[in-house]
Structure 1
Amino acid sequence: MIRLLTLALGLLALVNIRPIAACEIECMTGVTVAFFGNYSRPVGQVFLKLATQISDAFSLQDDLPYYLQPINDTFHNNAIAFHQHSIFPSYFHGKCQDPKTGQNPNGCPNPSCAVVCGTPGSLVYHFLKLRTIVHDATKALFDQTTDPSSRAYAESSTRIYRATQSGTGRSFGPSLRFSGAYDIGAAQIKDANFINHTLSRIFKGFSQLLDDECGGIQAYPAATLPRCNWEHAMKAYILTFP
């Protein structure tokens, strides 16, 4: 049975919430870990769907997480640093003070600051941009992890190739058919180039699958990805950092 490859649900427990001077190390790490933890379910569901596609494509009968473990591990190991850099300092960074007067604008450092800077109030005011950054970073990290030139991709594809060569996949009967583009024969499955081509095609579906799992892109920006919003809880959490 294919097990769900999911992000660690216990990450939020690692966050030590206590007042600090600004959105510095504790704030940046806390916000990043909170978002990463929230994405555990939608990303886990997408991994499961990808796993099912891979199982069907290569007729694998063994424990599928073994084949995807290099990708799963690399994705998890790089997630916090990758997401944190995407938020801070790539977009939210620096002080909010007016350089001419040295005064903070209204709402800075909290509760809501229209200036884009590195304070909790700025994160709250620009929350739509913040959650868009996190969503896009999740896609970008997966793309980076599954790039054909990456070590994780090479290890996963090698495991699948060896399984097809050793005959550990499901046997092919004359009536066995695969859905859609994955109706292929045993000889073709054993071709390394075909395996790499098929894997790349499956992995490219991550972006759309994640959008769908999060509720889809909507015409009104504030309504987009409704199942990956968490606005009220995240804003309240962000403002625990002064």
Structure 2
Amino acid sequence: MVEHLDRTLRERQLVTLRIGWGAALIAVVTFLAIFFAWPVGAMLLRGILDDAGALDLSAFGEVLAAPRTWHIVGHTLTMAVLSTAGSVVFGLPAAYILYRTDFPGRTVLRSITLVPFVLPTVVVGVAFRALLGSNGPLGFLGLDQTTGAVVAALVFFNISLIARQVGGLWQMLDPRTVEAARSLGASRARAFWTITRPALTPAIGASAGLVFLYCSTAYSLVRTLGSPGVGTLETEVFRQTQT
């Protein structure tokens, strides 16, 4: 009798759990359908249907055949690659200093390095515009409204991401393997490239991929700093909708 009651209770609990998960799944799917799939689908339909409601894909050919399109794509990818490379180059030393060395105030410095990443992109853009503008302290560099200014701002914005992701893994590596390599005659650089770098490759690759995604879709920074050159894919979408 007791076993039967226990089995019945477990079955009821299982049914209740399934109903709860089912309700949660329905709520999530409904939310995504209304606030994501519907607007995106409506936007895409407006791009492939003419005024009469008939399917019209000629716009794809016109856009892809235009030389300006590929100039914009090339400029966007160039800025994203340069910004990603700069973020990695400056982020790795920052990761080492913040996560592999011990000095007073390290925790405070870690917190400070996260500030650029959480700042609104418009704020970062305005700050760089104030620094690099003709009346700014760095105006003599002549970088105002140039691709270099955008790349510098993107690097500043994303260094903390590289440092945080790579440094978190670097902090957990066993230092004895490097010490063993050094004791066998390996130089500091060789020990880093043969032992530490392979261990950090997953974190470097993942964080660099995120930075590239952020840089290739940057809008506010590019607009604030003057949309240099032919602009980016994001700014071109805005320009097309306005003109």
More helix per residue: 2
Please, what TM-score do these two structures have when normalized by structure 1? Answer: 0.28
Larger Rg: 2
